[in-house]
Structure 1
Amino acid sequence: MGFTTGLLGGITLTTSLLYLSLRLHTDNRSHQSALLRQQSTLLQNIVAPPPPVPAPLPREVRAGVLESAKDRWNAELERNVRSVQNVDWEEWGRWAEDGVSRVWRRAFAKSQEAVDRAAGNA
């Protein structure tokens, strides 16, 4: 290894180590500074708490035609779902059974009349 190569290698190694150690020192100091600032703020808030922040004013945004249509659709859908949920299914089942039995009795009575007429004609 020649004089120039050794000199350049030594300078590179020295500056790299110097840069890394300064960078580490700077990062540590900024971290310590942030911690001290945080602790100072906490202590100040304990001694003299800041005034409460007023609530933000509500913002009114006018809905467009599409949003209004969506809202109406959703309201109608909710109303229909609630009506289906509020149905007394046992009562509805009894009503359906009664209707089917009435239709069955009529059909059976008509078929019985047809059988009786056919037997009377024979």
Structure 2
Amino acid sequence: MGFFTGFLGGFAFTSSVLYVTVHVHRSTRIAQRKAIREQVDQIDWLVSSSGAYDRHNLPVDIPRRRREELEAQKQAEPTMKEILKQRWNTEVENLTRKAYETRWQDIRDATADGWKAATQIIKRE
């Protein structure tokens, strides 16, 4: 395995591990934030003095409209899989757009110039 192949393989592996780690950490933080907000809302609802007697006499069954609103809120919250999938798709889209808009002749010329410069440096030594 050559130096460049090993270097690029190590770079790709390290960057992919860091990428996945950062996104897993971010999704965990989002889930914790949602859980904490739900708990704070429940505590505020329990602690508030207005309507304490009324809450004791609340019916157990949730009205259909409120139940539909809660289900819509649960469906609107993306899962970690959906977040990672969306980020992957945007990155692939950006790379594809960049590859489509790139002038390959300019890259070929720049690579040829770089190769010539590198061979000149090596031949001097």
Q: What is the TM-score when the length of structure 2 is the normalising length?
A: 0.39
* More contact order relative to length (CA 8 Å, sep ≥ 6): 2
Larger radius of gyration between Structure 1 and Structure 2: 1
TM-score, length-normalised on structure 1? 0.40
